[in-house]
Structure 1
Amino acid sequence: MATMCVTELLFTVWKHAGSDECVLLIQSSVCALRIVVSDDSSQLPVVRASDKCSESGRGLVLASETADAWGVNPNSFGAGTGTSAGKDVWVEFRARPKGAAA
């Protein structure tokens, strides 16, 4: 699930943000895996209603339904580098005991 979210978030930047660059940050701890994709566009992502016939538009829907949490931090390009433009879009997967259902 985490791999799919990385792919979807990076594709969303490429297709929709119009950003010249992006940063991928993967943080892991005993409690969770957090994936942050940052870009220099101030355009915030929008979760769209799923259209069964459309070839795109499901990336954030998939991320929001598979991750335990997700969100957007505007004006924080580079996962806290202090620049005044852009955003961080993040997803988080909480750790589960071995053998527990997802």
Structure 2
Amino acid sequence: MTLASRSTDAQPLSYSWLLTARRSDLAHFRRLAKLAMREWDQDDAVTEVVLHGVTELLANVARHVPDPRCRLELFLEEDAVRVTVTDSSAALPRITLPDWSAEEGRGLWLLREMADGIGFEPTADGKRVWVRVGTR
């Protein structure tokens, strides 16, 4: 894990970690995200959705991407916090109505319902998935 960028201002505008997504490490990255939310003075409602985003996006890399190396980024924008995960898989996620009797498969749907925006896009080396959580 590497803290790849931090602004020189008193309050950082972003954090970035290069990591290997493992389910056993999700709690660690949730703690780091929670520290960032505290530093950025975000309320509990924003923090809860951001932490859910970190968990869901990293868990999807661990579960679905053959090479689980990825980049987790948190951005403080003017009126939102954005969580972004970039990985090496070109397969874009699909957000569909979940099968409520299944043990998994509803995470992105729930995240879409909680967040103010969710999206994904192909990159030169894979894809980027993001969640936007409004702060106002």
Give TM-score scaled by structure 1 length.
0.80
Question: 1:33-68: per-residue Cα shift (whole Å, max 9, x none)?
Answer: 000011011011111321111111011101111110
- After TM superposition, give the deviation of residue 16 of structure 1 in Å: 1.4
Q: Which has a greater percent of helix? A: 2
Which position in structure 2 is the counterpart of 1:34?
82
The percent of aligned pairs where both chains have the same amino acid is 39
Instruction: State the SS of the aligned residue for 2:54.
Output: helix
Structure 2 segments unaligned to the other structure (5+ residues) = 1-48
Which position in structure 1 is the counterpart of 2:63?
15
- After TM superposition, give the deviation of residue 17 of structure 1 in Å: 2.3
Question: In structure 1, what is the Cα distance between the partners aligned to 2:77 and 2:57?
Answer: 21
Q: Equivalences for 1:20-99 in 2 at 5 Å?
A: 20-75=68-123, 84-96=124-136
Q: Which amino acid aligns with 2:106?
A: R
Question: In structure 1, what is the Cα distance between the partners aligned to 2:103 and 2:110?
Answer: 14
Query: Does the 8 Å CA contact 2:61/2:68 hold for their aligned counterparts?
Result: no
Structure 1 segments unaligned to the other structure (5+ residues) = 76-83, 97-102
Q: Which amino acid aligns with 1:52?
A: W
Question: In structure 1, what is the Cα distance between the partners aligned to 2:125 and 2:115?
Answer: 26
Count of residue correspondences: 88
Moved over 4 A (4+): none
